[in-house]
Structure 1
């Protein structure tokens, strides 16, 4: 339930509470009037005392139920049940008051109007008409059973009119409540929906995600997240114009809505990016849904798609699941986005499931070091928060390292070490201040010396984890130069560990092609030229040539990530 709905429900409950309290006061007045009639004293009438006590206890119970039901402790299902019980108790108490005050001849049959009004306001026309029917049946049955047997039952005739009033109260009031609810729903849709695609907007997405996670926490069930990005959408927009691009967005928005369940939330997350929240959905089921969406988009014809780089208009999809792979809504979004990044990086038009490199690492280390690896993961998250460049840099370096490892045809063990090293290589930055990491001006000599200390810091951090000893050389020497002018040990040529030389090329290429606080981003062609220019001085020439082949082979996919 959104904040708007919460506020609306609270306001309605406040109004209804006033009406219910008024009806209880009227009921109390009726009972006291009955036993104080003709000036009798209560103390002289033990039966009256008994009945008044029962009435007071009943009223207290009703009040307690009312107060309890209007708290925010219950979800909508529980509230509906409480309201049904409450309505039954109110009908019962009013029936008792009418019986005590003369049954068919009672002047207080109008008390049923209170519960008819409150039931209609709270639950709508249907509930109001049900309560009106029950109330009418009670008063008419009393007229038939209790009234004197006369040719003309005046009480029955009068109460037929009262029954009509009951229904005329419930019907138009319920109709108004329905119109008002529909109107509010339309207004909410205008606020919550994306005007172009008619799916939910970015703001509502975050509200709904928080609520779905809260709900699934209570039910101990998973929440799956799907991130969807249209491949080469900028290319399509540039070629055919934004109007045709908008048509694509609308079509895909409708396609997403028609391929998920009623409880699922489809939202436009960004320009050409959509997100789907799947409550009570396992990773396995989320993959099926995602693959179905990917296949539907691929098989749908979009005007001019034959001119797209891959000949079709397609989507890349990333998946993550709470709580298995994320602890909260922020981590769920980030991990799904990571998976989407990998899907786009590796040839697009595919579905990728989020997997953390450090989570994979846990399978390869001693059990006693699991907590330390978890701590390392936390440290990397802290670095990402301090340095806005580092997070994307790590993901890209890992992706490049996978591609280059395949090109180098190294063993699976070495490939694993390279990937782990790529993920952890900047962990030593935890000890460097945010001001130095994000400084736009050139660093001072003192600041530069501090920054150059991060490889040594990184080795010290992972030293307690014996299973990570193999990648300590990558962390320590990824800033060494092939000509011996690097740091921290001024190693030269093949004295630099092989995987460290590989990581140096990958790390430097991404640094050149990324937005950094202190230098201009190079194009991929410029970065390739820089690699060749520094081949044999800063970089191992053999590794440079193989890496350039990797970039050229995957250039189209890399450029559009």
Structure 2
């Protein structure tokens, strides 16, 4: 049974070995597919596979795997993203004016993102393509919500819990509605007094969400997302042992989104640099398991991307490694260079 990968469902069994376009072996014949296997096929840009013929009872009523987004489809998905950004702005205004927000408004704003983007296999490109210099605070909130949803799923949370965690990420900065715009969007470095003011958004956000929904994960996340496991964060200098696990998830998503975003006073950083920085922070500031899970799932999105090596040579990432995240297999012309073996090579830049 020759089938497109978008039609696969868990439990399908391969009848032939599967290779990517570079001839590298991806999955073996006889493999019973699970969700991660199907994701791997997407990541390797494999379109069709051969599986054992299903019985009539096994045929899905609807597709269980939606095709991933593609940059050429931005006219379709862009408006969904922009609607969420606009909805986020409206929530900030509501919180500023009334000191609270309606839970139904949060669901109606965030849920379309989950429904339309949850099977996107290239999170890296998606966020870069959709990101602009406008409405930083609101775009950042939308991105952190999406990333928190993905990361929660990767950590093993069920769909309902992952959506709640995504909503918490979406609302993590709601307290910024009470920070003066001149400080919030200041293009220059903040003074010590201004930074102390900014730090209060965690307390403001906690209060707004408690007034809106009572005690909740979202309220805790609003308060704790700038805490760090070594106790150097704010507002309460909590150690990792005292942080809520969901706060650790949103903290990783928050740092990543902030570092990839384009702002008036900050250029977008190279994506590999950002992930390396997260890796460094995982040994002091960010929860290691949460951060490494994030990196491990983001790195395969680099497969197929062009890279420049420190040697000046350019090539294409063919495969990534599950342990040495930043040392992929690269095709340089007609030869393959495994950076885990040839240690003199380093990736300098990933072209997105």
User: How far apart, in 2, do the equivalents of 1:546 and 1:499 lie?
Assistant: 14
- How far off its partner does 1:442 sit? 0.9
2:262 equivalent to 1:521:
no
- Of the three residues 387, 390, 393, the one matched with 2:140 is 393
| Secondary structure of 1:526's aligned partner | helix
Residue 315 of structure 1 corresponds to 72
- Of the three residues 481, 496, 514, the one matched with 2:243 is 496
The alpha-carbon distance between structure 1 residues 550 and 429, as it changes in their structure 2 partners (threshold 3 A), is same
User: How far apart, in 1, do the equivalents of 2:248 and 2:238 lie?
Assistant: 11
2:78 equivalent to 1:337:
yes
Residue 534 of structure 1 corresponds to 281
User: How far apart, in 1, do the equivalents of 2:351 and 2:176 lie?
Assistant: 29
2:170 equivalent to 1:432:
no
Cα deviation digits, residues 79-105 of structure 1 (max 9, x gap): xxxxxxxxxxxxxxxxxxxxxxxxxxx
| Secondary structure of 1:315's aligned partner | helix
TM-score by length of structure 1 reads 0.33
The alpha-carbon distance between structure 1 residues 525 and 314, as it changes in their structure 2 partners (threshold 3 A), is closer
- Of the three residues 209, 224, 234, the one matched with 1:477 is 224
Residue 213 of structure 2 corresponds to 466
User: How far apart, in 2, do the equivalents of 1:355 and 1:527 lie?
Assistant: 24
Across the aligned residues of Structure 1 and Structure 2, the Cα RMSD in angstroms comes to: 3.8
- How far off its partner does 1:439 sit? 1.1
The alpha-carbon distance between structure 1 residues 315 and 375, as it changes in their structure 2 partners (threshold 3 A), is closer
- How far off its partner does 1:560 sit? 9.3
User: How far apart, in 2, do the equivalents of 1:459 and 1:418 lie?
Assistant: 15
User: How far apart, in 1, do the equivalents of 2:303 and 2:201 lie?
Assistant: 34
Contact 1:318 1:340 survives alignment (8 Å): no
2:102 equivalent to 1:372:
yes
- How far off its partner does 1:418 sit? 1.1
Contact 2:143 2:170 survives alignment (8 Å): no
Structure 2 stretches of 5 or more lacking a match? 1-66, 89-99, 111-133, 306-349
Structure 1 stretches of 5 or more lacking a match? 1-297, 299-309, 320-335, 342-352, 359-369, 381-386
Higher helix share: 1
User: How far apart, in 2, do the equivalents of 1:375 and 1:403 lie?
Assistant: 21
Cα deviation digits, residues 314-348 of structure 1 (max 9, x gap): 832666xxxxxxxxxxxxxxxx634268xxxxxxx
2:158 equivalent to 1:411:
yes
Residue 197 of structure 2 corresponds to 450
| Secondary structure of 2:73's aligned partner | strand
Contact 1:316 1:340 survives alignment (8 Å): no
| Secondary structure of 2:216's aligned partner | helix
User: How far apart, in 2, do the equivalents of 1:423 and 1:461 lie?
Assistant: 14
Task: Name the structure, 1 or 2, with higher relative contact order (CA <8 Å, separation 6+).
Answer: 2
Cα deviation digits, residues 343-395 of structure 1 (max 9, x gap): xxxxxxxxxx989998xxxxxxxxxxx973467799x9xxxxxx821122122
TM-score by length of structure 2 reads 0.51
- How far off its partner does 1:431 sit? 1.0
The alpha-carbon distance between structure 1 residues 555 and 453, as it changes in their structure 2 partners (threshold 3 A), is farther
- How far off its partner does 1:484 sit? 0.4
Higher strand share: 2
Contact 2:275 2:295 survives alignment (8 Å): yes
The alpha-carbon distance between structure 1 residues 480 and 545, as it changes in their structure 2 partners (threshold 3 A), is same
Aligned length: 207
| Secondary structure of 2:152's aligned partner | helix
The alpha-carbon distance between structure 1 residues 533 and 355, as it changes in their structure 2 partners (threshold 3 A), is closer
The alpha-carbon distance between structure 1 residues 413 and 355, as it changes in their structure 2 partners (threshold 3 A), is farther
The alpha-carbon distance between structure 1 residues 439 and 553, as it changes in their structure 2 partners (threshold 3 A), is same
Contact 2:106 2:167 survives alignment (8 Å): no
5 Å matches for 1:142-153? none
User: How far apart, in 2, do the equivalents of 1:512 and 1:534 lie?
Assistant: 13
User: How far apart, in 2, do the equivalents of 1:391 and 1:433 lie?
Assistant: 15
- How far off its partner does 1:452 sit? 0.2
